[in-house]
Amino acid sequence: MTIPRLRTALAALSVLLLLAVSLPPSAAADDTPVVDVGATGAPFKGTTADGQVRGYVDAHSHLMSYLGFGGSLMCGETFDPGGPAAALKDCPDHDPNGIPAWFENFTRKGTPFGSHDTTGWPTFKDWPAHDSFTHEQTWYKWVERSWRAGQRVLVNQLVDNRTLCEIYPLKKYPCDEMETIRREAKATYALQAFVDRENGGAGKGWFRVVTSPEQARRVIEQGKLAVVLGIETSEPFGCREVYGKPRCTKADIDKGLDEVQKLGVSSMFLCHKFDNALCGVRYDADTTGVIMNLGQFVGSGRFWQADHCTAPEHDNPIMPSGQLGDLLAGPLGGLRKIGVTVPVYPSAPLCNANGLTDLGAYTLRSMVKRKMIIELDHMSAKAAGQSLSLLEKERYSGVISSHSWSDEHYLSRVYRLGGMVTSYASSAPQFIAGWKQARAQADPRYLFGYGYGLDANGMGPLPAPRTTAAADPLKYPFRSPVDPGVTLTRQKTGVRTWDLNTDGVANYGLVPDWIADLRHVGGGGITADMAKGAEAYLEMWQRAKK
């Protein structure tokens, strides 16, 4: 080919390429399924000029929850060697048309009756969605998009709930919570090996499980994602309580802590959703609370026990019983001494009568001894206050409130200990308000970095589309506010293209878009603090190790 003809051909090719990238996704795309994380540019490596790592932190998500609750409640998988068609498919029992999916219908629509498209890959007509609780939200390529945009810490909470497993009729696995923890930990390491194979071999992948702050720092300085294993389960080490009697001992607790540390676990909750032998729980509110209270009775033989409280710190309200509750709560409360509980409650504010038990205090001290991170969320107001008092005596910094399930009055005590607070992810205006509140309570002796607990695959809502997005949308493409060397376009999976303005955080890949929207609405201050989130988390962890 002659030079003039070559120049003409190159010019024509340049015009075609320009048109391809300039057209909106609907016009430029065809129906060929693709996996496009929509992120270009090399991820940041090394440290900032002052020697700090840079990146944002998700302190609370569930990559492997599809292996919990009996293994049939959640639909899809975080990864599958068979590819996206194998990983991103609906539960078989949701056919036809999602009509039998009573749990999905109830949690998404408030009724057991409903329908949804069950195709999954490659069309994703109805899911994943910010308000779908049973469909996969953390497929590994979606997590990769967030890592490329600047995420450097992800706490993968290994999760299960024996009572929910026993109630749900379909099961692949037994309902033993510790068996589930082992299974989910094994799957996390399998994902690490899977990502390694995709990136050239052992140790070369971007997804790295870490067991110490020093190891995490090395991983982040390499520009990779440090994955911390946590545990959020209702009966750790079998520590349920039945008719007021614990079903575990101190020896069980020591054996269990030793085992999970060998699995690589560094962070743990003492209680979750139901009172157990370690602590009273912070209630779920409204209709969900009614259901959980029934679960509390099924699992333990007792309903939640609540009193009207006057302290600033209190628990979430339970569905009120009105004037009758105020009249009867006192006399009925006297029956607790003989083991009888009745779900009749006085007016709010309410406090769970159950706090930190002797076994719970023993567990906390044992975690301090092992330099583990203590999760304050889900403890009752009484239990959280007692736990903080114990940690204050120990001068122990390894404590976190990871997703807004603790009374806001305790946050300043967490900060004074040198602990960390990350907020449940929500639409930009609400999340920004939480950041401002946290910043006002932070202790100036310690680096302030902020983060989020997305609670992905945790059967809770992800951030919905901002109500003002139509009039004032996030514009694409955009530079990552945490790693400016990375540019992001709309993410495409299969034949579906996602847009934060209309979809909200429908899956983990929309997290960078949500963070860009935080900057769009709240200015650069919030994303500057989120860029310090990984460093703040590591410094908290390092203080606990000393």
Beta-strand relationship, 350-352 and 306-308: antiparallel
Alpha carbon distance 449, 220 (integer Å): 16
- Do 238 and 315 fall into the same domain? no
- Do 255 and 316 fall into the same domain? no
> Residue 529: inside a domain, yes or no?
no
> Residue 63: inside a domain, yes or no?
yes
Residues with Cβ within 8 Å of 332's Cβ and at least 6 positions away in sequence, in order, are 342, 344
- Do 319 and 371 fall into the same domain? no
- Do 195 and 153 fall into the same domain? yes
> Residue 466: inside a domain, yes or no?
no
> Residue 521: inside a domain, yes or no?
no
> Residue 522: inside a domain, yes or no?
no
- Do 227 and 333 fall into the same domain? no
Number of folded domains that form the chain: 2
Alpha carbon distance 115, 136 (integer Å): 17
Give the Å distances, CA to CA, from 260 to 75, 84, 231, 363, 457: 26, 31, 9, 13, 22
Confidence of residue 8 (pLDDT cuts 50, 70, 90): very low
> Residue 506: inside a domain, yes or no?
no
- Do 114 and 141 fall into the same domain? yes
Q: Which two tokens stand for residue 9?
A: 């051909």
Task: Give residue 299's domain range.
Answer: 286-352
pLDDT tens figures, 181-232: 999 999 999 999 999 999 999 999 999 999 999 999 999 999 999 999 999 9
Amino acid at position 94, single letter: H
Number of other CB atoms surrounding residue 358 within 10 Å = 11
pLDDT tens figures, 499-541: 999 999 999 999 999 999 999 999 999 999 999 999 999 999 9
Beta-strand relationship, 34-36 and 492-494: antiparallel
- Do 220 and 118 fall into the same domain? yes
- Determine which of 4-18, 45-59, 171-185, 467-481 has the lowest per-residue pLDDT on average: 4-18
DSSP state of 283: P
159 by DSSP, 3-state: which? strand
Choosing from 407, 436, 453, the residue where a domain stops is 453
Choosing from 453, 488, 503, the residue where a domain stops is 453
> Which CATH number goes with the domain that contains 359?
3.20.20
**Which ranges constitute the DSSP H helices of 41-139?**
84-87, 102-109
- Do 406 and 377 fall into the same domain? yes
Alpha carbon distance 224, 206 (integer Å): 5
- Do 274 and 301 fall into the same domain? no
Find where tokens 């929910």 sit.
164
- Do 346 and 359 fall into the same domain? no
Alpha carbon distance 58, 52 (integer Å): 18
Alpha carbon distance 511, 463 (integer Å): 9
pLDDT tens figures, 365-381: 999 999 999 999 999 99
- Do 179 and 273 fall into the same domain? yes
pLDDT value for 349:
92
- Do 155 and 211 fall into the same domain? yes
Q: Which two tokens stand for residue 333?
A: 């409360």
Residue 359 CA to chain centroid, in angstroms? 27
Q: E strands, 468-515, where? A: 478-479, 487-488, 492-494, 496-497
> Residue 320: inside a domain, yes or no?
yes
Choosing from 398, 422, 453, the residue where a domain stops is 453
> Residue 45: inside a domain, yes or no?
no
Start-to-end CA span in the chain (Å): 69
Q: What is the pTM assigned to this prediction?
A: 0.92
Percent of the chain's residues with pLDDT above 90:
84
